[in-house]
Amino acid sequence: MVSNLRLLRTRKGLTIREVSKMLGIPETELCRIEKGQAYIPPKWRPKIADFFGVPISEICDITTGWPVLVDIKMPKLVRKNISK
């Protein structure tokens, strides 16, 4: 499970640091939010949603502010032994 916020950020090709600077949100807090360790304060919700062009309900629970988690299948890393 990964936060939809992280998914939106990575799809835009942005780092946490870049988003932090653009939105004026501390990098450490943004990281905690993406990991599901912190809720999104009400004053940040519209700013984040507008930045990614999505409704607030796609980034967090409207009542609690906890990040929306999505279940995505991550591709398996396959190590190949290439010998010459």
Written as one string, the DSSP assignment of 32-61 is HHHTTSSPPPTTTHHHHHHHHTS-GGGTB-
pLDDT bucket at 14, cuts 50 / 70 / 90: very high
pLDDT in tens, 18-69: 999 999 999 999 999 999 999 999 999 999 999 999 999 999 999 999 999 8
CATH of the domain at 56: 1.10.260.40
- Kind of pairing between the strands at 2-3 and 69-70: antiparallel
Q: Is residue 83 part of a domain?
A: no
The two three-digit tokens of residue 66, written as one number: 């906890």
What pLDDT is recorded for position 74?
53
| pLDDT at 78 (0 to 100) | 46
Question: How would residue 9 be classed by pLDDT, with cut points 50, 70 and 90?
Answer: very high
**pTM (predicted TM-score):** 0.81
Structural domain contains residue 80:
no
| Domain carrying residue 53 | 2-69
Number of domains in the chain: 1
Instruction: Answer whether residue 60 is part of any domain.
Output: yes
